[in-house]
């Protein structure tokens, strides 16, 4: 039985039309479990969230591109994600979970189908691999032009950043590092995140407002100052994502349209919207024309 709530069945419409080829740079595909079973040692059991459900959500909001992040509930079995990439006909990319023993043929096959990076979790209840495995895999993915995608939190971010800066590949910090919104923009961990503007291989995702919020109540307004500070500091290396279907939420289930409208309100400049929703993901994930 699922131990996670499903996403909202009805979401708020987008407040304005998105630019052509707008990209949702962070979401997951779950199952369907009768076709793509969940891993036996999974850290959570979600309700199914299929490619078709995701595509419907994107069509409602105006996204035509997206990046599927391999979820922990499927472990190293990439079948559901690769199937979604095949169905997406070039409009989707993906981030994988891989064993340190993954071979070059497997990496090249994933690359040909749209995988562009490898994710590592440093949040205690989701931890996969660890730094030693990341350091072992990073040089092997460099030749493919991939990056590492980092799921950190307030407890792990500061220790990770100096090591990430020494990697031979770009790195992406998911969910604004999951720093604590309650500590504000002056928080040392968030200031370290802002300082990544000076590092050419660093990217940050504006996503997971509910995961940094101190109260977990929609519309997660206490996270907005963090978003505004990132927009001011480093728009040329920001990405935006829904985090649909929002596994393991502790508070209110996010409304994906409301999350999008918060971003559009905080980023009213159309040129900057285009940069974050279109240009930046086009560069990092190597979408075709």
Q: Using DSSP, state whether 23 is helix, strand or coil.
A: strand
Residue written as token pair 């905080």: 266
Choosing from 48, 243, 255, 256, which is the catalytic residue?
A: 243
How many Cα atoms occupy the beta-carbon half-sphere of 280 within 13 Å?
26
Tokens 């090591």 correspond to what residue? 163
Q: Cα–Cα–Cα angle for 33, 39, 44, nearest 5°?
A: 85
Question: Pick from 67, 96, 97, 81: which is nearest to 35 by CA?
Answer: 81
Q: Please say if 252 is a catalytic residue.
A: no
Instruction: Report the C-alpha gap between 30 and 244 in whole angstroms.
Output: 10
Euclidean distance between CA atoms 3 and 216, whole angstroms: 18
Cβ-in-10-Å burial (0-12, 13-18, 19+) of 194 comes to middle
Residues 51 and 83: beta-carbon distance below 8 Å: yes
Q: What token pair was written down for 209?
A: 């407002």
255 φ/ψ angles, rounded to the nearest 5 degrees: -100, 115
Cβ burial of 53 (10 Å; 0-12, 13-18, 19+) is middle
Phi and psi, residue 171, nearest 5°:
-135, 145
Which residues are annotated as catalytic?
Answer: 243
């Amino acid at each position: 039985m699922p131990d996670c709530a499903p996403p909202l069945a009805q979401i708020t419409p987008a407040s304005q039309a998105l630019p052509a080829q707008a990209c949702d740079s962070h979401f997951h595909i779950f199952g369907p479990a009768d076709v793509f079973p969940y891993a036996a040692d999974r850290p959570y059991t979600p309700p199914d969230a299929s490619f078709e459900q995701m595509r419907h959500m994107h069509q409602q909001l105006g996204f035509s591109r997206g990046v599927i992040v391999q979820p922990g509930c499927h472990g190293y079995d990439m079948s559901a994600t690769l199937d979604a990439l095949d169905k997406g006909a070039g409009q989707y990319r993906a981030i994988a979970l891989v064993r340190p023993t993954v071979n070059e043929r497997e990496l090249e096959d994933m690359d040909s189908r749209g995988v562009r990076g490898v994710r590592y979790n440093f949040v205690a209840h989701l931890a996969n691999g660890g730094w030693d495995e990341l350091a072992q895999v990073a040089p092997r993915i460099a030749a493919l032009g991939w990056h590492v995608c980092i799921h950190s939190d307030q407890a792990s971010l500061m220790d990770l950043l100096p090591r990430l800066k020494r990697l031979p590949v770009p790195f992406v910090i998911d969910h604004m590092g999951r720093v604590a919104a309650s500590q504000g923009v002056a928080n040392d961990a968030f200031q370290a995140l802002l300082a990544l503007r000076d590092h050419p291989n660093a990217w940050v995702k504006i996503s997971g407002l509910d995961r940094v919020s101190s109260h977990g109540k929609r519309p997660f307004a206490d996270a907005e100052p963090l978003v505004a500070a990132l927009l001011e500091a480093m728009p040329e290396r920001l990405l935006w994502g829904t985090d649909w279907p929002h596994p393991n939420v502790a508070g209110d289930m996010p409304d994906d349209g409301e999350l999008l409208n918060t971003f559009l309100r905080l980023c009213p400049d159309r040129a900057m919207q285009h940069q974050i929703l279109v240009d930046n993901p086009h560069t990092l994930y190597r979408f075709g024309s």
